[in-house]
Homo-oligomer: A and B are copies of this chain.
Amino acid sequence: MGTEGLRERKKEQTRAALSWAALRLSVERGYRNVLVEDIAADAGVSPRTFNNYFASKAEAIVWRHINRAKAMSGLLRDRPRDEPLWTALAEASASLVDDGGVPPDPDWVAGVRLMLTEPEVLGEVLRRTVEAERTLAEAIAERTGMDAGKDLYPRLVAAALSAAQRVASEQWMQEGNDLSMAACLREAIGQLAAGLPEPPH
């Protein structure tokens, strides 16, 4: 049998179904026009059950995205130890979104737009991202021989990286942008690692 038995698998399945339904419906009709009731119906469970899995609509929508973000620390740990930190961070970030030249899934694009657009969703995603930063800071601390609890550096790097990821997403979403998400990420993180030098003017 799979990980942790059939029960656990079924739970994860329902959770995914709910998250997916929440995202899809919100993209289709707009966040405010979707009731918890609708999401539950779409996933084939009762409205009450929805709240056994997620504490809010926003949390459900954001769940998949946050799961990806949480993978960052693992990805960072997998990078070669002799690689410069910022290269490792940039490549780990890029690998999270790299489609290998395949044009991005329109549903995913719509999802990203939703998270940057709908205030309530944005609040949730930012909040959860800050949460995930703690784990990332741990990984950075480990790599640099520091203490994420006491030293400023690891948390600062994690926070700056999150910021860069968000801005890169915005930039990528903009009208008339021909770069890939991965390219936007590398660009933003590169500038960050260079100290965001003020260009001569």
Contact = CB atoms under 8 A, between A and B. Distances in A.
A198 interface: yes
Contacts of A170: 155
Contacts of A159: 163-164, 166-167
B196 A194 contact: no
A192 interface: yes
The secondary-structure label for the interface of chain A is helix
A171 interface: yes
Interface residues of A, number: 42
A191 B156 contact: yes
Interface in A115-133: 119, 122-124, 126-127, 130
A62 B188 CA distance: 29
B156 A188 contact: yes
B191 A192 contact: no
A146 B95 CA distance: 30
A107 B37 CA distance: 42
* 4 residue pairs, one from A and one from B, having the closest CB atoms: A195-B195, A123-B123, A126-B126, A159-B163
